[in-house]
C-alpha cells in the first residue's frame, strides 16, 4: 500500500533538488526503498556542501555533519532544508512527525517527539532536540528499530540489540533493533567482548584478532586471564561476559533466551558436542571463537580436508602424516581440479575416504536456475558412475559465493529442487554458507552440509547457526609439508556424520570372462539364512545369558542368520544374528524347546524356512523358482538373487575379511544354496555375480578370487520391504 507521507517525501526531494549536481531524480511511488533513502542522503550532502554527493554516508559526510548537526534552533521557528530531510527520514522509518500533507523545513516539538521515539526504540537515551551523527546515519539506511511483522525478528535478540546500542554504542554507532541477529549485530557482539576486556574505543575494531584472543577469559573464570589493563576481571565483569555467553549460545540454537540465568554447563557441553569441540563445559578460547566467528578456532587441526590438487602418492603420505581421514575432491572441472584416473583407488587403498564435490559455475548467482539444476544432476551422476562411486553416495553441490537470503529464495532453492527431482542414483549434499545449508536442508533438497565457514565475513554465515546435518566444516586454508612434499588444502572439521557421507570403497569393476572358479566345499559352512514363516515373534536371548534375558525379537517374515546345527548352549539352542532395526545386528540365541532338554517343540519351530527357498515380490514372500546358473559340476547348484540395495563384498586377506568393493543395487549374485561364511556369519559365500545373462568373476588385484563373500545386508533390516536380497 502506498504511504502518502513517503510519497510526499519523494515529491519534496524531486521538487527541491531536481537539477542540482549529484542528485538523482527518483520515482514518486510512495514506497520506501534504497532509492528514496539514497536521495535523502544526497540531499543532506548537498546541504552540507559536499561537492560530490554519493550513496555512502562515509567519513567526509560524518565530518561535515558533526560540524553542523541537526538540532532544534536557538530561535523559535528556525528553518532549514535539513529539518525537512529529517522529517522525510523519520516518515520513511515509520515515525509520525506531526507534519502532514507535505514536508516543511521546521524542527518543532512534534518532530522532537518522533526523534525521541526512534531513540527509545534503538535503546539509546532520548534527547529529541539533537540528532547525533550515529542516529542520522542510522535514519539514512534501511535499518529497522522495531520487529517488522512477518520477519524472523526475535524479541530476545531485540533486547540484546538495544543493550548493545545503549551500553556500547560508542564503539560502533547504532545497529538495527529488529530482532534479527545479522552481520551488524554479530560484529557489535565482538565489540562488546572487546569493551568488557577494557579495550579502548579506537583500539577495539570488531574483529576477533590476536589481542581479543589474548584477553578473553574462560567461563567459569579461574582468575588466570587478565584484561587489556593487565588486571583480573571483577565479578560484575564476568557476569557481563556470562550474559554475552548466553546470547551467543541462544543464536547458535542453544538456550531459552533467558540471558544471564541459563544452565551454562549443560548448554555449553551441548554446543561443544555439536561443533565437535572437546566437551568440557568450560568456555575456553576455542569455544568463544566458535560462538562468535563462523570459522571458529582456525588453529584447530581437522581430520578432513578438500583440495583442487590431485592426491598423488606423495600427497597421500602427507595427509596421512597429519592425521587426515577424509579428503574432498572435484568430480568435474577439467584437468585443473577434477579427480584423475586411478586417484580414488589410491586414496581409498591408502585408508582415506573421499567426499565428492561438484562445482562448475557455483560462484555466481546467475548460475543457479532450475534448468541448470537438472543439467548438473545428470553431469554429476555420470561422472560419479564413471569413477565407480557407489550409488547412494553423497555428492556436494557448491554454492561458492555470499548468497543473500533473498538469493536463496529466488535462485538457490529452485536449483536444488531441480537437483532433488532429477537425481536418482546419488544423494544430494550442499556446500555453502550456513544459511544456504540450513535452507536447502530444511526444504528437503539436501541430506548433508559441507559448510563454507572459512568465509566468516559472508552474510550467510554471520548470525546463523551450524546446521544439524553438517558433516564437514571448512575453517581454514593451509599448506601441509612432509619431507620434500607440500600440498595446499582447506582444513575441515569432521562431524560424526562424516563417515556415512563419504566414500570408502568403490563399486566393483566387472570382468567379462565367464569361467568361474570352483567354490569352497559347502560342508565346511556353519551358518545359514532363514526366514521366520510362523505367525509368532521369536524372542532372542542374550548370547552370554542362559537365564532368559530377551534382547530382541525375530518378527514374522523377517530374515535372520543362524547356525546350521545347534550350538553348545543346548541341543535346541541356535546361535543367531538378526537386524536390530537401526543399521546393526543383534547377536544372540533362541531355543526351539520351551524347556531346556525337552523334546517338546515350540509352535513356531517347524516354520523356519531356508532363506534361499523364498523370494520377494513387492512386500510379499513367494516361493522362489529353482534358479540355477550352469553347474560347475554335476552336483553343485546355485541360487540367484537380485540386490535391493548396494552391498559390500569382501574377501579374506591374511585370514581376515577385507571389504574390496560395493555391488550396486539391481545386480544379481549367484550363491551356494543355504550357505553363509564359515568364520564370518554376516557374509554369504558368492561364487560369481552379474547382470542379465552374462556372468562375471570377482577380481582382486587383477586376479580372480574364489572366496568372495557378499554382505548379507542386515544393516538394511530383515523384513521383506527392506532386506537386501530378493
Q: Which of the listed residues 237, 268, 292 is the one where a domain comes to its end?
A: 292
Residues 544 and 588 sit within 8 Å (Cβ to Cβ): no
Q: Which of the listed residues 467, 501, 535 is the one where a domain comes to its end?
A: 501
Residues 431 and 396 sit within 8 Å (Cβ to Cβ): yes
Sorting pLDDT into bands at 50, 70 and 90, what band is 515?
A: very low
Q: Are residues 351 and 460 in the same domain?
A: yes
Q: Which residues pair with 450 in a beta bridge?
A: 431, 472
Q: Are residues 325 and 453 in the same domain?
A: yes
| Sign of the C-alpha dihedral computed for residues 225, 229, 233 and 239 taken in this order | negative
Residues 487 and 318 sit within 8 Å (Cβ to Cβ): yes
CA 608, distance to chain mean position in Å, is: 45
| Whole-angstrom Cα Rg for the chain | 34
Q: Are residues 580 and 650 in the same domain?
A: yes
Residue 567 burial (10 A CB sphere; 0-12, 13-18, 19+): middle
Sorting pLDDT into bands at 50, 70 and 90, what band is 299?
A: very high
* Cell numbers 542453544: residue: 254
Sorting pLDDT into bands at 50, 70 and 90, what band is 549?
A: confident
CA 208, distance to chain mean position in Å, is: 24
Look at residue 723 and tell me if it is in a domain. no
Higher pLDDT: 335 or 548? It is 335
Q: Are residues 421 and 336 in the same domain?
A: yes
| Nearest residue to 503 via CA among 335, 384, 584 | 384
Residues 6+ apart with CB under 8 A from 290: 271, 275, 277, 296, 297
**DSSP letter for each residue of 618-645:** TTEEEEPP---PPPSSSS--EEEEEBSS
CA 106, distance to chain mean position in Å, is: 54
Classified as helix, coil or strand, 504 is coil
Residues 645 and 665 sit within 8 Å (Cβ to Cβ): yes
In this predicted structure, the answer to whether residue 668 has a pLDDT above a threshold of 90 is no
The values of phi and psi at residue 569, to 5°, are -65, -50
Q: What CATH number does residue 439 fall under? A: 3.20.20.80
Sorting pLDDT into bands at 50, 70 and 90, what band is 605?
A: confident
Look at residue 726 and tell me if it is in a domain. no
Residues 6+ apart with CB under 8 A from 576: 540, 554, 560, 561, 562, 563, 587, 588, 589, 590
* Alpha-carbon gap, residue 715 to 709, rounded angstroms: 16
Give the range among 223-232, 242-251, 709-718 with minimum mean pLDDT: 709-718
In this predicted structure, the answer to whether residue 512 has a pLDDT above a threshold of 50 is no
Helix (H) or strand (E) holding 615: strand 614-617
Sorting pLDDT into bands at 50, 70 and 90, what band is 595?
A: low
Sorting pLDDT into bands at 50, 70 and 90, what band is 708?
A: confident
Classified as helix, coil or strand, 57 is coil
Residues 494 and 276 sit within 8 Å (Cβ to Cβ): yes
* Alpha-carbon gap, residue 314 to 302, rounded angstroms: 20
Sorting pLDDT into bands at 50, 70 and 90, what band is 45?
A: very high
Q: How many CA atoms lie within 13 A of 462 on its CB side?
A: 19
The values of phi and psi at residue 374, to 5°, are -65, -45
Helix (H) or strand (E) holding 47: helix 34-47
Sorting pLDDT into bands at 50, 70 and 90, what band is 304?
A: very high
The values of phi and psi at residue 568, to 5°, are -80, -10
Look at residue 298 and tell me if it is in a domain. no
Sorting pLDDT into bands at 50, 70 and 90, what band is 482?
A: very high
Q: Are residues 96 and 236 in the same domain?
A: no
As given in the structure block, the three cell numbers for residue 684 are 554369504
In 10 A of CB 519, how many CB atoms?
20
| Nearest residue to 500 via CA among 323, 646, 599, 296 | 646
Look at residue 543 and tell me if it is in a domain. yes
In this predicted structure, the answer to whether residue 626 has a pLDDT above a threshold of 50 is no
As given in the structure block, the three cell numbers for residue 558 are 523377517
Q: What pLDDT sits at residue 592?
A: 80
Q: What pLDDT, in 10s, does the model give residues 219-242?
A: 999 999 999 999 999 999 999 999
Q: What pLDDT sits at residue 353?
A: 96
| Nearest residue to 445 via CA among 473, 412, 494 | 412
In this structure, are strands 585-591 and 573-579 parallel, antiparallel, or unpaired? antiparallel
Q: Are residues 285 and 320 in the same domain?
A: no
Q: How many domains does one find in the chain?
A: 4
**Is the preceding peptide bond at 406 cis, omega within 30 degrees of 0?**
no
Q: Are residues 605 and 465 in the same domain?
A: no
* Alpha-carbon gap, residue 474 to 477, rounded angstroms: 9
Look at residue 297 and tell me if it is in a domain. no
Sorting pLDDT into bands at 50, 70 and 90, what band is 557?
A: confident
Q: Report the predicted TM-score, pTM, of the whole model to 2 decimal places.
A: 0.70
| Nearest residue to 81 via CA among 154, 164, 28, 17 | 17
Look at residue 512 and tell me if it is in a domain. no
As given in the structure block, the three cell numbers for residue 698 are 570377482
Q: What pLDDT sits at residue 87?
A: 95
Eight-class DSSP state of 508: P
Eight-class DSSP state of 366: G
Look at residue 144 and tell me if it is in a domain. no
Residues 305 and 492 sit within 8 Å (Cβ to Cβ): yes
Helix (H) or strand (E) holding 305: strand 304-306
* Alpha-carbon gap, residue 574 to 565, rounded angstroms: 7
Sorting pLDDT into bands at 50, 70 and 90, what band is 632?
A: very low
Tell me how long the chain is: 726
Q: Are residues 262 and 128 in the same domain?
A: no
In this predicted structure, the answer to whether residue 652 has a pLDDT above a threshold of 80 is no
Higher pLDDT: 262 or 133? It is 133
Sorting pLDDT into bands at 50, 70 and 90, what band is 637?
A: low
Q: Are residues 355 and 449 in the same domain?
A: yes
Q: What pLDDT, in 10s, does the model give residues 561-589?
A: 887 766 544 455 778 888 877 667 788 88
Sorting pLDDT into bands at 50, 70 and 90, what band is 523?
A: very low
Q: Which domain holds residue 92?
A: 4-139
Q: Are residues 586 and 695 in the same domain?
A: yes
* Alpha-carbon gap, residue 706 to 698, rounded angstroms: 8
Q: What pLDDT sits at residue 292?
A: 96
pLDDT above 90 covers a percentage of the chain that reads 60
Residue 174 burial (10 A CB sphere; 0-12, 13-18, 19+): buried
Q: What pLDDT sits at residue 347?
A: 96
Residues 683 and 669 sit within 8 Å (Cβ to Cβ): no
Look at residue 724 and tell me if it is in a domain. no
Q: Which of the listed residues 292, 324, 358 is the one where a domain comes to its end?
A: 292
User: Highest mean pLDDT range out of 186-195, 256-265, 594-603, 625-634?
Assistant: 186-195
* Alpha-carbon gap, residue 182 to 184, rounded angstroms: 6
In this predicted structure, the answer to whether residue 75 has a pLDDT above a threshold of 60 is no
The values of phi and psi at residue 41, to 5°, are -65, -45
Q: Are residues 459 and 527 in the same domain?
A: no
Q: Are residues 131 and 186 in the same domain?
A: no
Amino acid at each position: 500500500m502506498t504511504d502518502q507521507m513517503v510519497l510526499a517525501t519523494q515529491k519534496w526531494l524531486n521538487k527541491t533538488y531536481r537539477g542540482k549536481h549529484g542528485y538523482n531524480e527518483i520515482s514518486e511511488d510512495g514506497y520506501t526503498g534504497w532509492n528514496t533513502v539514497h536521495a535523502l542522503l544526497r540531499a543532506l550532502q548537498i546541504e552540507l556542501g559536499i561537492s560530490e554527493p554519493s550513496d555512502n554516508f562515509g567519513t567526509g559526510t560524518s565530518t561535515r555533519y558533526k560540524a553542523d548537526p541537526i538540532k532544534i534552533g536557538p530561535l523559535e521557528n528556525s528553518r532549514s532544508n535539513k529539518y525537512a530531510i529529517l522529517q522525510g527520514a523519520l516518515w520513511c522509518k515509520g515515525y509520525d512527525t506531526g507534519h502532514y500533507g507535505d514536508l516543511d523545513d521546521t524542527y518543532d516539538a512534534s518532530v522532537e517527539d518522533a526523534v525521541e521515539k526512534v531513540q527509545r526504540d534503538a535503546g539509546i537515551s532520548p534527547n529529541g532536540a539533537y540528532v547525533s551523527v550515529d542516529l542520522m546515519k542510522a535514519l539514512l539506511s534501511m535499518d529497522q528499530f522495531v520487529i517488522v511483522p512477518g520477519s524472523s525478528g526475535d524479541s530476545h535478540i531485540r533486547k540484546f540489540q538495544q543493550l548493545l546500542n545503549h551500553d556500547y554504542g560508542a564503539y560502533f554507532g547504532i545497529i538495527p533493533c529488529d530482532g534479527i541477529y545479522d552481520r551488524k549485530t554479530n560484529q557489535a557482539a565482538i565489540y562488546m567482548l572487546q569493551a568488557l576486556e577494557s579495550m579502548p574505543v579506537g583500539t577495539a575494531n570488531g574483529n576477533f584478532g590476536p589481542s581479543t584472543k589474548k584477553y578473553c577469559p574462560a567461563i567459569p573464570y579461574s582468575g588466570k586471564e587478565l584484561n587489556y589493563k593487565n588486571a583480573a576481571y571483577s565479578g560484575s565483569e564476568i557476569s557481563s561476559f556470562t550474559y554475552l555467553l548466553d546470547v551467543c549460545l541462544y543464536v547458535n540454537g542453544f538456550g531459552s533466551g533467558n540471558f544471564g540465568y541459563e544452565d551454562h554447563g549443560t548448554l555449553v557441553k551441548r554446543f561443544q558436542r555439536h561443533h565437535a569441540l572437546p566437551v568440557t563445559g568450560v568456555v575456553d578460547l576455542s569455544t568463544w571463537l566458535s560462538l562468535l566467528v563462523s570459522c571458529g578456532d582456525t588453529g584447530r587441526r581437522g581430520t578432513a580436508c578438500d583440495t583442487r590438487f590431485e592426491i598423488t602418492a606423495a600427497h597421500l603420505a602427507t595427509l596421512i602424516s597429519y592425521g587426515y581421514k577424509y579428503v574432498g575432491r572435484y568430480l568435474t572441472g577439467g584437468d585443473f581440479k577434477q579427480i584423475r584416473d586411478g586417484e580414488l583407488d589410491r586414496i581409498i587403498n591408502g585408508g582415506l575416504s573421499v567426499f565428492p564435490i561438484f562445482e562448475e559455475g557455483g560462484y555466481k548467482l546467475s548460475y543457479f536456475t532450475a534448468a541448470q539444476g537438472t543439467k548438473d544432476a545428470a553431469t554429476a551422476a555420470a561422472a560419479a558412475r564413471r569413477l565407480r562411486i557407489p550409488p547412494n553416495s553423497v555428492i556436494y553441490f557448491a554454492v561458492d559465493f555470499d548468497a543473500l537470503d533473498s538469493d536463496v529464495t529466488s535462485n538457490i532453492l529452485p536449483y536444488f529442487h531441480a537437483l532433488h527431482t532429477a537425481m536418482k542414483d546419488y544423494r544430494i549434499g550442499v556446500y555453502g554458507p550456513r544459511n544456504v545449508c540450513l535452507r536447502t536442508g530444511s526444504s528437503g533438497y539436501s541430506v548433508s552440509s559441507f559448510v563454507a565457514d572459512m568465509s566468516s565475513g559472508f552474510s550467510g554465515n554471520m548470525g546463523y547457526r551450524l546446521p544439524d546435518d553438517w558433516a564437514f566444516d571448512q575453517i581454514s586454508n593451509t599448506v601441509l609439508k612432509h619431507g620434500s612434499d607440500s600440498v595446499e588444502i582447506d582444513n575441515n572439521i569432521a562431524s560424526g556424520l562424516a563417515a556415512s557421507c563419504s566414500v570408502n570403497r568403490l563399486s566393483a569393476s566387472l570382468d567379462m570372462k565367464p569361467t568361474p572358479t570352483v567354490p569352497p566345499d559347502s560342508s565346511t559352512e556353519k551358518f545359514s539364512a532363514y526366514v521366520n514363516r510362523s505367525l509368532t515373534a521369536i524372542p532372542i536371548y542374550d548370547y552370554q545369558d542362559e537365564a532368559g534375558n530377551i534382547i530382541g525379537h525375530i518378527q514374522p517374515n523377517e530374515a535372520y542368520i543362524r547356525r546350521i546345527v545347534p550350538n553348545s548352549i543346548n541341543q535346541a539352542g541356535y546361535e543367531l544374528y538378526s537386524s536390530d532395526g537401526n543399521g546393526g545386528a543383534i547377536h544372540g540365541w533362541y531355543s526351539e524347546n520351551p524347556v531346556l532338554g525337552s523334546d517338546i517343540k515350540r509352535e513356531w519351530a517347524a516354520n523356519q524356512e531356508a532363506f534361499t527357498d523364498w523370494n520377494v515380490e513387492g512386500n510379499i514372500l513367494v516361493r522362489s523358482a529353482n534358479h540355477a546358473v550352469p553347474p560347475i559340476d554335476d552336483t553343485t547348484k546355485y541360487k540367484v538373487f537380485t540386490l535391493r540395495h548396494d552391498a559390500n563384498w569382501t574377501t579374506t586377506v591374511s585370514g581376515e575379511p577385507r571389504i574390496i568393493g560395493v555391488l550396486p543395487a539391481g545386480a544379481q549374485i549367484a550363491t551356494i544354496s543355504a550357505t553363509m561364511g564359515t568364520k564370518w556369519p554376516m557374509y554369504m559365500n558368492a561364487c560369481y555375480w552379474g547382470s542379465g545373462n552374462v556372468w562375471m568373476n570377482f577380481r582382486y588385484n587383477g586376479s580372480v578370487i574364489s572366496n568372495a563373500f557378499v554382505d548379507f545386508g542386515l544393516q538394511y533390516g530383515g523384513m521383506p520391504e527392506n532386506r537386501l536380497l530378493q
